[in-house]
Structure 1
Amino acid sequence: MFGLKESEVATLVKAVSVGGGDDLDRDAIEERFARATWSGLAEPGDRLAGRAIRQLGAVRALTGVVEHWEPERFAAALSLDGDTVAEDDMAQAIDRWMPRLKSNTALIALRQAARFGARLLTPHDTLWPSRLNDLDWHSPSALWARGTDEALAGIERGIALVGARAATGYGEHITMEASAGLVDRGYTIVSGAAYGIDGMAHRAALASQGLTVAFLAGGVDRFYPSGHDALLGRIVESGVVISELPCGSPPTKWRFLQRNRLIAAASMATIVLEAGWRSGSLNTAGHAATLGRPLGAVPGPVTSAASAGCHRLIRDFDAVCVTNPDQMAELAPIEHGLLSAENVAGAADGVHGSDEKADAAGPRDTERTRLLDALSARSARTANDVAARSGLAISAVRAQLGLLELEGRVTETERGWKRAAS
């Protein structure tokens, strides 16, 4: 199976499958292993990887990479009904994937998942969060989860509560009341386990004996931030911790931004409780609006910079002003566990949220962010190593390293490249 011992692959895949995987046949095992491999082969949200998996199936798409299909052949296989894929785009995609194509990478991730009691979810599983399919080619190839089946099923009634890490006492108080109130109304609280608003949303849900879901930007075997180890451990016991990245994957700035699309997509609605003018939580709001999800924002004191982002959403992007759990629940009423179609149709649109660095990062800014994430200020790394860590093509890595060196942001040593000291 892809050059590996079928018995070893089957044993590991069954060990991390829902229900023990005893009912899986060879085709199902091969499909799950291929999706597990893709979760580490391509960076989150990779459009061409998602398109290849959707159109060819995970197994055939992976076969194309393993067998080193030429860009022309790969592009032709993905081109349907006049919707073609440019050979140059396909060549760049293959260049992004190849540095990570190692036979034992997926096996190591599966072993680590089994060790930590994590499970591999695919779109074929009944517990797969179905709203993630709205991401189309940007949807995850698989999910890695630690937690309860009840919480996984509860995502269908999920509302995302997000906000700034540097929360004020006002923001934390509003979040505590919102989370507890929504739990009492039957909702599941979805967030990103960050400091500040996210952490308070999870804690209040747990304190109210409710369900909560934390989406991480790294593997579920390495909790981040480390200061939330205890909190995430509690979520695993009665809720669920989820990532689209395999065990062992470190969180990076790029992956945090991509993680936000899962929070928005999986939830019935997104509420921003407190956020600065350029807070990263506005990125989550942007994903929610793009997907047609209802978007709400809690106002704060007009003199508070910590609420400027919420006021921006209300004034410029038609977010609904919400001040209590009742108003938040009105955005996405639970009707036998389903979202009201009227509220989906009435969702705000046109928001294109920002990250902490820039309002609209272009392709070059994205490449630089991913490249700098992959470099260390202490240990020198080769260009090939940086390409594997960043998920960028080696040609793009070399080009960007040269430019960053001219700017004084990286330095080259005998052993490789290092990030320059701030």
Structure 2
Amino acid sequence: MTGTDLSSAAARAALRGSPGARGAGEDEDAARDRFARGIWSALAEPGDGTGGALRDRWGAAEALAIAVLTDGREAEAAEAGVEPASLKKARERWHPRVEGVGETFAAARRAGAVLLTPADPQWPAGFDDLGPHAPVALWTLGAPERPLTPGSAVALVGARAATAYGEHVAMELAAELGATGTTIVSGAAYGVDGSAHRAALRVDGLTVALLAGGVDRPYPAGHSDLLDRIARTGVVASEVPCGSTPTKWRFLARNRLIAAAAQATVVVEAGWRSGSLNTAHHAASLGRPLGAVPGPITSAASAGCHRLLREADAQCITAADDVRELLGLPVTMSADDGGRTDDRTRVVDALGVRVARSAEEVARRAGLSAGDAAALLGLLELEGRASRGVDGWRRC
């Protein structure tokens, strides 16, 4: 175990060919840190506090050198607040995995996964609030340069066995928030999670899926196509390396990332003992604003939401504007007096926030002639509700 090669040459060799990897352009210390973090992701389970404490004190590469020893360097561990007994137990957890870490980077290359670390500008600043339980790195699918959670982000979570009501509310919230530039963060599960992701995609919004297993093993399998769509326009990420299977512990640990990646968490529908309450409690412990959607008082599927409203000081969420208030964003006011809808509304609905569209495409989507659509786009530009760029029109 003492023979693990942590040199910069080994780091560059391991990182070479990885999509989005910056090994060739990084200095030796940065390359070793990225390499070490990739190894740590395979060595320790998510949220391992002992590994986190060692990394916080000594950096990922030096902490890894301490970790792979059979004994010794207890003094350095003690400086990190790790007692000898805790170090011994941690090494007993980590050592059985040392021999298999060489496959970590090869599996990522096969899957096209990018290793994201705290040194990258795409790294969510909210992860820092997790302290020693912060993820050591993320393996991601999606454009390497895309920030994980740009601008405002909200976690929409809830029951897998969601009712039609829960799925409907999740879709309404995600669509309205996603269409106005808020990133939708969730876990890609059946029920509320999947509904939120799909609705965000439908309005060309940005959505992020945080998984409990490797990004090369879509879970649930029925959401393979959904995860592919998310990766094309958003990000699919996991703190465990490719090939890792989702386990009950990893699901619970993953929930802390969902809560930390977003500025607020909203539980759309949850039973009394729903796993989404775990995400809510992580959000509360991080000091994040927490919201819950009320349901019928006779519905067991909403009992967990009612529990949060009563016991966890969650805010009552009935519309997207409630979520915007939770995020500290200005509440959207209707530009049509008295709720009136007209041809301008159709043109606005045909525009995307992130994806630019030509005037001809807007006309087709709105069901208007090209001339009428062009005239209305000009008026909307004057009102500040649409903007024109070299690549087309967007909703403001």
Structure 2 unaligned segments of length 5 or more: list them. 331-396
Aligned to 1:93: 90
Alpha-carbon shift at residue 141 of structure 1 (Å): 0.7
Alpha-carbon shift at residue 15 of structure 1 (Å): 3.0
State the distance in 2 between where 1:174 and 1:264 align: 20
Return closer, same or farther for 1:7/1:223 CA change in 2, 3 Å cut-off.
Answer: same
State the distance in 2 between where 1:150 and 1:162 align: 26
SS at match of 2:200: helix
Q: Larger Rg: 1 or 2? A: 2
State the distance in 1 between where 2:163 and 2:146 align: 29
**Aligned 8 A contact 1:206 1:212 in 2:** yes
Pick aligned residue for 1:288 from 283, 288, 303? 283
Q: How does 1:21-420 map to 2 (within 5 A)?
A: 21-70=23-72, 72-79=74-81, 85-102=82-99, 105-149=100-144, 151-334=146-329
Structure 1 unaligned segments of length 5 or more: list them. 80-84, 336-422
State the distance in 1 between where 2:11 and 2:148 align: 28
TM-score w.r.t. the length of structure 1 is 0.74
State the distance in 2 between where 1:124 and 1:156 align: 19
Q: Which has the higher contact order (CA 8 A, sep 6+)?
A: 1
Alpha-carbon shift at residue 101 of structure 1 (Å): 1.5
Give the letter aligned to residue 207 of structure 1. Answer: R
Return closer, same or farther for 1:92/1:153 CA change in 2, 3 Å cut-off.
Answer: closer
State the distance in 2 between where 1:89 and 1:286 align: 27
**Aligned 8 A contact 1:151 1:211 in 2:** no
Deviations 1:96-135 (A, max 9, x none): 1111121xx3331111111221100111111111110110
TM-score w.r.t. the length of structure 2 is 0.79
Deviations 1:149-173 (A, max 9, x none): 5753534421000000000000011
**Aligned 8 A contact 2:179 2:200 in 1:** no
SS at match of 1:15: coil
SS at match of 1:120: strand
Aligned to 1:351: none
Aligned to 2:5: 3
How many residue pairs were aligned? 328
Give the letter aligned to residue 66 of structure 2. Answer: G
Give the letter aligned to residue 216 of structure 2. Answer: D
Give the letter aligned to residue 164 of structure 1. Answer: A
**Aligned 8 A contact 2:152 2:263 in 1:** yes
State the distance in 2 between where 1:234 and 1:271 align: 23
Return closer, same or farther for 1:163/1:191 CA change in 2, 3 Å cut-off.
Answer: same
**Aligned 8 A contact 2:12 2:24 in 1:** no
SS at match of 2:178: helix
State the distance in 2 between where 1:315 and 1:117 align: 45
Give the letter aligned to residue 116 of structure 2. Answer: L
**Aligned 8 A contact 2:49 2:133 in 1:** yes
Return closer, same or farther for 1:331/1:229 CA change in 2, 3 Å cut-off.
Answer: same
